[in-house]
Amino acid sequence: MNPGPAAVRGRHPVALFRRKDSDPFSELDEPAIDDSAQATPGSQKKGAPTPTRKQAEAARRERLTKQVSKKEAARMQRAERAQVMRARDNTPEKALLRDYVDSRRNLGEFLLPGMIVILGASLLYSIAPNIALIATVVMYLFILTVLLDSYLMWRGFKKVLADRLPRSSSRGLLMYAMNRSIQIRRFRMPAPRIKRGEPY
């Protein structure tokens, strides 16, 4: 009796999917990937930034200071500051303003010495209250007088500027005039080139 198809299948099961031979190239090592080659350009360290003008000037001064003595370096720095101030103040309007201020007697010249004296007198409040009160009143009156004198000075200079330099602008000259008028004459920079009362 011949076995049926089912028995044959039971004895010899049919493989529906045959196992493929292993790929001889599958065991080959994959080429190693160099991580450094994939590094982005941004991950690399950039060069040092370009120094600013201020940093370059500081480095130059440091080199000069090492080469010369401290006294000589201080003298050179004063000369540089004076040169910068001359370049800043070397305009016809400011030159005329300096001559105008230096040619007149300004109450602002006595502002700093007067304030020192008045403040010293006001410290005597615990000893002499009346003197301290009078000193305070005098201080405020003196400040008002200086402001009035500065106003008259500025008003007169505007007329001179319109006459001498009609196309010039007075913008920024008011504070320059007040700062110069309240400075003691011998400490003004640039130094006065005319005396009081001389024509300018």
- Residue-wise pLDDT tens digits, 148-159: 999 999 999 999
Give the count of beta carbons closer than 10 Å to the beta carbon of residue 38: 8
- Position 41 scores a pLDDT of 43
pLDDT at 26: 43
| pLDDT tens by residue, 13-67 | 444 445 544 444 444 444 444 444 444 444 444 566 777 877 777 777 666 656 6
188 vs 57: which has the higher pLDDT: 188
Q: For the chain, what percent of residues have pLDDT higher than 90?
A: 30
Q: What DSSP line would sit under the chain, residue for residue?
A: -PPPHHHHHHHS---SSPPPPPPTTTTSPPPPP-TTTT--GGGSPPPPPPPPHHHHHHHHHHHHHHHS-HHHHHHHHHHHHHHHHHHHH-SHHHHHHHHHHHHS--GGGGHHHHHHHHHHHHGGGTT-HHHHHHHHHHHHHHHHHHHHHHHHHHHHHHHHHHHH-TT---TTHHHHHHHHHTS-GGG-SSPPSS-TT---
What is the mean pLDDT of the segment spanning 143-166? 94
- What pLDDT shows up at residue 37? 41
Ranking 9-18, 53-62, 84-93, 157-166 by mean pLDDT, the lowest is: 9-18
pLDDT at 147: 94
* Gap between the Cα atoms of 165 and 100, Å rounded: 14
Give me the amino acid identity at 35. D
Res 8: pLDDT = 45
Q: Please count the CA atoms within 13 angstroms of the CA of 30 that sit on its side-chain side.
A: 3
In this prediction, residues 107-124 reach a mean pLDDT of 86
What is the pTM for the complete model shown? 0.56
Average pLDDT (104-110) is 92
**Average pLDDT of the segment spanning 78-95:** 79
| pLDDT at res. 65 | 58
Query: What pLDDT is attached to residue 43?
Result: 42
The pLDDT, as a whole number, for residue 158 is 94
Which one has a higher pLDDT value, 85 or 45? Answer: 85
